[in-house]
Structures are given as C-alpha cells and as structure tokens.
Chains A and B, each alone.
Chain A
Amino acid sequence: MSTFLGMPSLPVYGTGNLFASESFPTAAHRELGNAQLRANLGHATHTIRDKRLKMVAELPDWEQLRDAGSAIKESVMARLPELLEQFEENFTARGGVIHWARDADEANAIVAGLVRDTGETEVVKVKSMATQEIGLNEYLEEQGITAFETDLAELIVQLDHDKPSHILVPAIHKNRTEIRDIFLREMPGADPQLTDDPAVLAMAARAHLRRKFLSAKVAVSGANFALADSGTLAVVESEGNGRMCLTLPETLITVMGVEKLLPSWQDLEVFMQLLPRSSTGERMNPYTSLWTGVTEGDGPQNMHLVLLDNGRSAALADEMGRSALHCIRCSACMNVCPVYERTGGHAYGSTYPGPIGAILSPLMTGIQAEENNSLPYASSLCGACYDACPVKINIPDILVHLRSVDVDSKRGKKKLPSQMDAGMKAASWALSSGKRLGMIEKGLPLGRLVAGPDKKITKLPGIAAGWTQSRDIPAPPRESFRSWWAKEHRKPDTSSAPEPSQDKEDQP
C-alpha cells in the first residue's frame, strides 16, 4: 500500500482552551477598566523585565546562544517525524510508554484511563501549559479524579476558581493581599492570622501541599524539553514541587506537545542558558529534573508520555507561521509587551496569552475559529517581543502574515465590504500614484475648514472614531510639500520619469 493513501489532509486544527470567546478589543476594554489589575501587571512586568535585562547583559554570547537556539528549533521542525520516532524508540527502550493524542479530547481520555488503571482518584500536578491547553483538570474532575495543582501560582489560581493569565506566573494579576484573601477563603485549615507577606504565604502553601506530595501515587507533568537521541525528558522549575511530583509517586504521566523535542544532549546547553534568563530573569532556575525512562529504585517505576498534536501540525503547515512552534514558553514576549502589560492574559482567551499567544492560538485553531481572528491585531507591531525572544521568533512578521490570512479569508464572503475594506481599497487607489495623491492633497484647505478656529479635528465618524476617542488631529497645512516643491522647482524634474507632467499639474 502506498504511504500516501492514508496521508491525512491538512490542516487538522486543535481543540481545548485555545479560543478567544470574545474579540480582543471587547475583552481588553473590560480588563483595562480594572485598575487593580493594571497596577499589579505594571508592577510585575516591570520587575521581571528589569531582571531579564540584567541577566541577559551578563552573558557576552547571548546573541550567539539565540542564533544557536533558533537554528536548533528550525532544524527540529524540519526533521520532526524522524526525531519523534527516534525519541519514541529511546524512551520506550528505557521502560517508558508512549501514547499519541490527536487532540485535546484524546489526550484527556488517555490520561484519565492511565490514572484509572492505577486505582487512584487523586493526582498531583506540576505546572504544565499542555495540560492547561487541553483542559485536563476539568476533564479529570468530570471523571471523578481530583487534580491538585502544586505550583504556588497555579494553586492560587485553582483555589480562586480563576484562569491563569500568564504562562510563567499564572497569578501575575493578583497582588499579595488578594492572594492572602484567597488562602483564607479557600485553603482548608489556613491560619486566620495569615499575613500578606509573600514568605508567609509561601509557607502556608508548603504546609497545605506537603501531605499531598508525601502520599501521592500518581503525578501529571508537562515537559520543557525532550531529547531525541536519548529519550530524556526535562522539567525546569523553582519551588521543588516539580521534584516532588517527578520523584515521589509511583506513576508519572507526562503530557507534551510534539514540538518540544531537541535533537541531542548537546542542545540542552543552549536552551538551559536561554530559558532561565529569559523567563524568571535568573542565571539558573533553582531546580531542573532530567529523567530517561525508568531508573530502578529511584523515582516512578511507571512512566508514561502523551505526545500531543492538537493543532501543532496545522501550525507547522503554515510556512510563514511555523516558527511559532519554536516557542519554549519562557514568557519574555509577554513581559515586554506593552499590550499585554495593560490588558493582562485573560483578554487573549486562549491558554497562550501575549504576543506568542496572538500567533500561536490562531495558527493552532485556524484563523476563523471563534474570535481568534482578532488576536493578530492585538499588537502595535512595536517589535519588543522579537527582540526579547530567546529563539528569535519573528512575532511581528507572523502577526502581519496572519492579518493577511484573516483579510484574505473574508474576501468575497461578505455581502458588503467593511469600512476597513472600503477604506483600504480607496487608500490603495489614492496612494499608488503621486498624481492622484497630489490631487487629493488639493483638498487640504477643506480639512482646515473642518478643523475650524481651534485648528484641530476632535471627532471623526466610523472606524476613525477610535482615533478621536483620545487624540485630536491637527488642522492640515495650507498646501502639501509636493505642491510647495513644484512651485519652488519650476524647471522640469528629470528624476520624475514615470509621471513627467506632474510638476505642472501640481500647480495650484
């Protein structure tokens, strides 16, 4: 049988928590109204930004590390099928079991089945974006299995029945007082005298989770890296909750996107320098655990890995967008993003917020899914994210690419063109000829009339009202530069070959 017979057609999009349920501007409007949120976010993003800059400046070879990281990831994408097979072979040879999941539902069902097989009804969890993406906790709950988040921030979010708003610091939108109140309200046996000192709050979390760690039989984790040439998995963390989950239980179930692979051990030296400095702004995170299948007498003896597609193959099929899969979830892009700083992560709807989320979510779900087509516009294209990205994902270019995918996907489908469509079409006509622009500029004095004696325009209709919501427009000048130049240089301009008669026509 030909291998092409069963070749699936693409793209097959992802499911789960990847969708904006309302448009970004609508969500952003609401979030911007929350002054406490803005203050918390402003403080947190500035703190982490400064730390990152300081740590990055310390390394003389930061740019070389970025170059290597970017090339390694590009290479992984080009060789993904072969690397996945190599990883599978090595992981399996060391006693691990691999499960493949096409989408969120399939991954959830696999994990629930594995937990059920152990006879347990509770699992401890290490912070993981992949399980957040597939909505694992909610699914397990439906199946009668309780998942305990053990990362402090995830614990805060889980206790508050909230959603994470940042991929590294999921409770970045909460300040210490809010967190103290959550603990008092939701944490069984919390000391009523609890203060809002972060050290005190961290100790309360330690006491709360300690019994869970010591008695847990099953843990669920994500993975930061997977090394194809050895079948090794890595989890990068700070608090020791990861080590607890990865070391003490009998069964470990790891859920990981297919794109997380690195070809070899040597590549780890690049990423373990890039990741901690980019994410927490530390020289190195407190703990990194690496394990290669089962080690007899040390750590879990039942080792499972769920390899997740869930729209990653769809993102990979987009030649312009596929480098979004290089992402190592460091969160540097959101920490430097002026849009994220003001709206927070919830405005993006998806598990993946910020600049990377604005490209990754629509790439994984398709631009037309729910409100995800509003995400690529959630950027002023200032480029801070690209500069901060440790693997050099050109997020602004991909944003612009996805905007054009969005515009093209709507062409010919609407009965009436939108104001934006009509405006762009008209502007294309006007701005594709010096002659036409010159003619239009003859109307500038009319604009002066509109502006009136205050010499400013304060209210515009339609989509332009967005501008005049907070900005005036100056009264236009009496004449354009073009017109002035033509008057000053009456001799024919030899450099204007395409439209030789223009100077003359531009005369008032």
Chain B
Amino acid sequence: MSAREEILGRIRTALKDNPEAPQIPRQYRQTSPLDESALIELLVDRLIDYKAQVSVVDAAGVPARIAELLAGAQSYVVPTGVDAGWLTGLDHESGERRRHLDSTAAPLSVAELDGIDAVVTGSAVAVAETGTIILDGSPNQGRRAISLVPDHHICVVNAADIAGILPEALRRIDGTRPLTMISGPSATSDIELERVEGVHGPRKLDVIIAR
C-alpha cells in the first residue's frame, strides 16, 4: 500500500466514530466603522509602533517624497509596472542612472539585488488595525525578491486600499497570488524577548500613504 493510501486509511479509521463537523460561528467583526481619515490615522499609529517611518501625502506629493527618501541611495530597483508618475520627482539624469528595473520576464539576479540600496513598490491592500501592508505580486509590486533583498523598502499605500481590519483586507485580495504580508521592518525578539528591529529583511521600511 502506498504511504498516501495508508495515511488516509489510518485517518479514516481514526474517525470511525464519525465526528460531526460543527457549524462555524463567525460572530467576530467582519467590518470596521472607520472613515478614511480615521483609517489613515490608525495605520500611521500602528506602523510607527513597529518602528516603520510613515509619511502621509496627497497623491501629487508622492514623487517628491520618494525623491526625498531616495536621496541617499546609490541605486534603487522598481518593478516594471510601477506607476511612472511616482518617479518624476527624481532628478531625471541621476534618477535614470540609479534606477534598476525588474520583472518576471527580465529578473535581476540575487547578487544584483544585493548590490542595490533601495526598492520602491506599490501595495495591494493595507490593514489599519494591525499595521499590515499586503503585497500580491501585481506589476506595480513586482517579484517577492525585490522587496526583500535591498535594505530599504519604500512602499506606497493608496488611502483607498486601507481596510480597517484583517477580514476586510483579505476579502479584497486573491489568495492564490504570491503574497507577502508586511508589518513593519524585519524584527526579532529571540534574545530575552527584547524586540530588535532589522534582521534579514529590509532594515528600513518607509511607508508613503497617498491620500
């Protein structure tokens, strides 16, 4: 008998008392009552608590803010589907020189990514209550590796994409895409439960919330 048949057989035998599958009580919150400005306020609070840097700007102010955050970077990577308008704040010549493009069709190698200082991506949805940003690999967010290897992640969140609580956020995305849920920069509490921000993932997370 194959291991598969045997294990399934063992499990069926174990359930010979035919336990009933209960109805799932879903009395927990499904929606949150917050309006956009309250959602932004909550998200900002939570992100700061995780030691992320946050700025809230009008949509028109995104390019300038990105340029400001990239000022010290020798190089940065963007997914090919990034909103072209976001990069217009960068001095044209230096912006081009420092820029690397990445896509599934033309991916940068891991070594190349390791030599790049920063990454700019969009995001799929955010959860205000938990300070979580979800990337789903859409063209403006790119491959998972680009938001992982460079040490500085600049992530743009559209105010309209902020959900109040997790159930609302998860309803907005396709679970079969390659997903990364990000809540602050990488961190560890492995030494005496003392939280240290910045381990293997980007040590610096900048979130730009675009109203």
Contacts and interface: CB of A to CB of B under 8 A. Distances in A.
Interface of A: 6-12, 40, 43-44, 47-48, 51, 60-61, 64-65, 67-68, 71-72, 74-75, 77-81, 84-85, 94, 99-102, 106, 150-153, 156, 169, 171-172, 175-176, 179, 198-199, 201-203, 205-206, 209-210, 213-215, 227, 230-232, 238-241, 243-244, 247-248, 258, 265-270, 272-273, 276, 280, 282-292, 295-299, 307, 309, 313-314, 316-317, 319, 322
B7 to A, nearest CB: 5
Q: Is the interface of B mostly helix, strand, loop or mixed?
A: loop
A28 to B, nearest CB: 23
Interface stretch (B68-76, B88-96, B104-112): B104-112
Contacts of A268: 170, 175
Contact of A241 (B132, B191, B196, B200): B200
B28 A247 contact: no
Given A78-B22, A286-B186, A298-B104, 19 more contacts: A10-B14, A43-B193, A74-B19, A74-B22, A169-B193, A171-B191, A198-B194, A201-B191, A213-B200, A238-B186, A238-B187, A244-B148, A244-B201, A282-B183, A286-B50, A287-B183, A289-B181, A298-B178, A299-B178
B84 interface: no
B178 A285 contact: no
Given A202-B199, A286-B201, A77 B25 contact: no
Contacts of B176: 94, 230-232, 292
B144 A247 contact: yes
B196 A284 contact: no
B61 interface: no
B178 A316 contact: no
Given A40-B192, A284-B181, A272 B166 contact: yes
B172 to A, nearest CB: 11
B35 interface: no
Contacts of B122: none
B3 A106 contact: yes
Most buried by A among B12, B103, B166, B191: B191
A61 B29 CA distance: 7
A241 B198 CA distance: 11
Contacts of B196: 198-199, 202
A283 B20 CA distance: 33
A478 B190 CA distance: 57
B183 A285 contact: yes
Contact of A206 (B49, B145, B199): B199
Contact of A248 (B24, B131, B145, B194): B145
A119 B20 CA distance: 47
A292 B175 contact: yes
Contact of A287 (B20, B21, B149, B182): B182
Contact of A175 (B29, B104, B130, B192): B192
Nearest to A66: B28
A276 B28 CA distance: 17
B148 A74 contact: no
Given A74-B22, A239-B200, A269-B170, A290 B178 contact: yes
Contacts of A265: 170, 175
Contacts of A288: 179-181
A287 B186 contact: yes
